[in-house]
Structure 1
Amino acid sequence: MWSGPRNISTALMRSWENRGDAVVADEPFYAHYLVKTGLQHPGRDVILSEHEADCDRVVAGLLGPVPPGVRVFYQKHMAHHLLPGMDRGWMEQVENCFLIRDPRSVIASLHARTPDPTIEDTGLPQQRALFDEVRSRSGAIPPVLDAFDVLSDPRRVLAGCCEAVGVDFDESMLAWPAGPRDSDGAWAPWWYDSVEASTCFSPPRAGTVDLPSELEPLVAECTEHYEHLHQHRL
């Protein structure tokens, strides 16, 4: 699942992990991304000490054997972690899906933690480029999930996603126990407080999202990329 930041990507990972036949990977390219970009994200030292930073080894793990009884290997990816120059051939061996969220909500959430977010920070241009690449290589339209739709009608959207990737929908995907998971990335203490308190998908918040006027051009720039993907949503 290719997502961007400040989405419901971790809640969606909880949903899939709650199946009895699934294991998950939480942002497996994050350590490599931190090494290559030099970014000083919260928990950087812990992340680099606990997670593989060699992208070739990461890919080998993503394509490697899964434990007995596992039918679904759900991988939560951030599109911007797939840096230019990284091999993408492995993507032809997995089912690629995309999770999007309306730019205004993404930017509002980013702005709360990053004073001056950029379009690259939203992950939307990277998602669009990946979507177009996957579509071109496969000759088919990859499944696109919109966060608003997932929150509004999780059963319908999750069932549609399951059908699109060839697995049966499981009712256990609609609710999960609160708390942390062993599968959570080492960055969880800095980012996962809300999802750790959750037990299901909450209905989307009503009303409009207010933003400072200086961020409106960024919203407009992101909207083109969002709509390119949104038109294909399940």
Structure 2
Amino acid sequence: VWRDILTRAEKGPVFLKDFPHYINHMWTADFLGHFTHAFLIRDPAKTISSLFNKWPEFDELEVGFPEQRALFDLLTALNGAPPPVIDSDDLLEDPTAMVAAFCQAVGIPFLPEAMTWEPGGDPSAHSWWDGGSFHANLAQSTGLTPQPRRYVEVKDSPERVRRVYRRMKPHYDHLYQHRIKPA
């Protein structure tokens, strides 16, 4: 699969999204050097509470914040500068400005028409778990539109969620300080 991606990348830009904790066995300077990297981060209060809601017995190793930070730090060291970071709340609050800033940061043109699309698609076709419930809203969406920030009170969560949150928050904060700031 990865050779196919590299072959396609020789012909032009290829976008792919993955979780760092699923590909950390591939983190060599040579392999990583083939890509323009960027990070999408989400407040761990939201990530962990959402994960707990769908999967109460989730394994803490599935959360991935330490590996995300490790990859970010590795790429920063290899490239001499941090890769672009987008915070999901900033993206949802001002999608057009944040996508334009992201495009500028990674050197691709901003296409306003890419901000909307026709609804549809089968979320189960792209789901790694439970037939697509994590992606059901996306299948019905028609584009990126501004949404107000939602806050999650971690103190109201079960102790296990609070414990995982306390361990993940420093990793999120580390990347958050490097985020592309909204205009």
- Of residues 217-226 and 168-177 in structure 1, the stretch that sits farther from structure 2 once superposed is 168-177
Task: Please show how residues 158-197 of structure 1 align to structure 2 within 5 Å.
Answer: 158-180=99-121, 185=126, 187=128, 189-191=131-133, 192-197=135-140
Q: TM-score, normalised by structure 2?
A: 0.83
Question: Partner residue of 1:208?
Answer: 152
Q: CA deviation at 1:204?
A: 3.9
Per-residue CA distance 1:129-154 (angstroms, 9 max, x = gap): 00001111111110001100110011
| Contact persistence 1:120–1:126 (CA under 8 A) | no
Q: TM-score, normalised by structure 1?
A: 0.67
Question: Partner residue of 1:223?
Answer: 169
The alignment covers a number of residue pairs equal to 173
SS of 2:165's partner is: helix
Q: CA deviation at 1:108?
A: 0.8
As a proportion of its length, which structure holds more strand? Answer: 1
Question: Partner residue of 1:26?
Answer: none
SS of 2:121's partner is: coil
As a proportion of its length, which structure holds more helix? Answer: 2
- Of residues 164-173 and 212-221 in structure 1, the stretch that sits farther from structure 2 once superposed is 212-221
Q: CA deviation at 1:110?
A: 0.5
Q: CA deviation at 1:179?
A: 0.9
CA RMSD of aligned residues (A): 2.4
Question: Partner residue of 1:64?
Answer: 7
| Aligned counterpart in structure 1 of residue 97 of structure 2, from 131, 145, 156 | 156
SS of 2:14's partner is: strand
The residue identity in structure 2 corresponding to 1:62 is: I
Task: Please show how residues 5-154 of structure 1 align to structure 2 within 5 Å.
Answer: 58-65=1-8, 71-84=12-25, 86-88=26-28, 89-154=30-95
Per-residue CA distance 1:164-205 (angstroms, 9 max, x = gap): 1111111023211111179x5364843422210111235145
Q: Report sequence identity in percent.
A: 32
Long gaps (5+) in structure 1: 1-57
Per-residue CA distance 1:98-151 (angstroms, 9 max, x = gap): 110000000011101222334422111110000001111111110001100110
Long gaps (5+) in structure 2: none
